[in-house]
Chain A
Amino acid sequence: MNSFDVSMLLSGQYHDWLVSGFALSIKLTLITLVIALPLALLVAVLRLAPLALLRAVGVVFVEAIRNVPLLAHMLFWYFGAPEVLPESLKAWLYERDVEAASAVIALVLYTAAYMSEDIRSGIRSIPKEQMEASRALGFSFLGAMRLVILPQALRVTVPPLIGQTLSLWKNTSIAMVIGVAELMYQAQQVESASFRGFESFAFATGAYLMISLVITGASAWYHHHHPVRSA
């Protein structure tokens, strides 16, 4: 085809589309992260809870989500799940940005399932005698978790959590199947409107790479400044 036209990436309508897709991808990542982290922590604690029923809830959540592809989650939360809502609520929801909302739900659950496993590993890396000692000193299970175990465990967990954030950033691209106008969606739009596929996907690739490198850099920085201490 023709030569690489950088100017269309720097200004004009196609530039605007790509930038808006980029901004939406970042927004999806941040919103998902903010909701998924506490949820992941909750699930991790559930899986280590003294009650068998609570542990079972945690196991079911993690396994049900991790064993289904993200693409299927997206399609389910967009085409399937909202259909069981009552008519009035459905109409209210569908007038809004149900595409982005469904994408966030799918990404939150998917990311939380993986993050909870990382957090659980972190907690298990703290010798179990610490929990036993805390309980012997009169702490409740939650008290011991909050004051003794988690502060140490979360420190160990930060590098894998940054890794999950990197996956999350890349996973936002799947939202395009349910019509969310994120970066990959916009890159395709630009391609079909202008036949400038090379330029638009170069922009998308560059953008994913840039943010991914920033996330990787954050991981390296953390590792350097907060090395894992042996417990």
Chain B
Amino acid sequence: MMSKRLMLLVTGALALVPLSSAHADQLQDIKKKGELVCGVLGTDEPFSFIQNPASRAIVGYDVDLCNAVAKSLGVKTTLKQLAVSARIPELQQGRVDLLAASLTHNKEREALIDFSLSTFITGQKVMVKKQSGITRLDQLAGKKVLTVKGSTMEQSIKKAVPTAVIVSFDNSPQAFLALQQGKGVAYVNDETSLIDDASKLGPVAKDYEILPQNLSTEHFALGLKKGESAFREQVNKVLRDLEASGEAEKLFTRWFGPATKMKFPNRPFKLETDKID
């Protein structure tokens, strides 16, 4: 709420500042200056984070996407670390050319900036104990489902399984503990949190399973300044080429695959659409 208000304030103030020169075409400008400035978070593993504290270099899935766009233009990548709330204003002011910052594509933001194809699609999911024998959402009908209070999770599970008995707790460790103790058959959270929770269990984690169905989906995308259609087309072309060449799959496996902490068994999406629910 606060950050949104702040953002509006900043963008409002900026609208009063006349632009020094009308940008004919951002794509040409990037080529001319020889660098693509990407705004990243740098704090959100594995999207963009500092892997090796000694080098302080920011790496990650978002960074690799940025590099791919820069490479296609024959320019170098310059990363700029941004705070979450600063992402959209920095883009609008032209201090960054492209946002690769775990940015969720939603309808409210479409009024402010443009989005590339979705680069990562995740969602709220359900975790169960393997011994429960539950493999599909509809098997949760009439059963106790645990989640966190005040979240959109309660609404999504209610929508997916209207007869489920939802028991909510103050925080996710409590809800997860209740699942471990068997006080409900399922625990709902967003997928990355579920994976993180399970990883804390150590060897016992193998007794738990995340159901493949999404309760709701969240689309991450690259953010672009509004109205730069040539640049946007270029970025989307790069993403489509990554998909076609199999490079997108490799990138996903590198940051989210079985050998990583995230341990996604497979990629549940493709770089092909900018439609959101």
Interface residues of A (CB under 8 A from B): 79, 82-83, 90-91, 94, 98-99, 177-179, 185, 188-189, 191-193
B167–A188 contact, CB under 8 A? no
Q: List the A side residues contacting B183 at CB < 8 Å.
A: 94, 98-99
8 closest A-B pairs by beta carbon, nearest first, are A179-B167, A192-B150, A94-B183, A94-B182, A179-B169, A177-B170, A179-B168, A188-B149
Near A by CB (< 8 A), chain B positions 67-123 give none
Q: Look across to chain A and name the residue whose beta carbon is closest to the beta carbon of B149.
A: A188
Could you tell me the distance in whole angstroms from the C-beta of B33 to the nearest C-beta in chain A?
44
Q: List the B side residues contacting A188 at CB < 8 Å.
A: 149-150
Could you tell me the distance in whole angstroms from the C-beta of B108 to the nearest C-beta in chain A?
14
Q: List the A side residues contacting B150 at CB < 8 Å.
A: 188, 191-192
B interface, how many residues as a size bin? Answer: 10 to 19
A90–B182 contact, CB under 8 A? yes
As a 0/1 sequence over residues 148 to 190 of chain B, the CB contacts with chain A under 8 angstroms (1 = contact) are 0111101100000000000111100010011001110000000
Q: List the A side residues contacting B167 at CB < 8 Å.
A: 99, 179
**Given A189-B168, A192-B154, 19 more pairs with CB closer than 8 A:** A79-B174, A79-B177, A79-B178, A79-B181, A83-B181, A90-B182, A91-B182, A99-B167, A177-B169, A177-B170, A179-B168, A179-B178, A188-B149, A188-B150, A191-B150, A192-B149, A192-B152, A193-B154, A193-B155
Q: List the B side residues contacting A91 at CB < 8 Å.
A: 182
Most buried by A among B151, B174, B183: B183
Q: List the A side residues contacting B155 at CB < 8 Å.
A: 193
As a 0/1 sequence over residues 33 to 69 of chain B, the CB contacts with chain A under 8 angstroms (1 = contact) are 0000000000000000000000000000000000000
Q: List the B side residues contacting A193 at CB < 8 Å.
A: 154-155
Q: List the B side residues contacting A179 at CB < 8 Å.
A: 146, 167-169, 178
Q: List the B side residues contacting A178 at CB < 8 Å.
A: 169
Q: Look across to chain B and name the residue whose beta carbon is closest to the beta carbon of A195.
A: B1
Could you tell me the distance in whole angstroms from the C-beta of B132 to the nearest C-beta in chain A?
12
Q: List the A side residues contacting B181 at CB < 8 Å.
A: 79, 82-83, 94
Interchain CA distance A191-B178 in the complex, whole Å: 24
Q: Look across to chain B and name the residue whose beta carbon is closest to the beta carbon of A79.
A: B177
Interchain CA distance A185-B168 in the complex, whole Å: 9
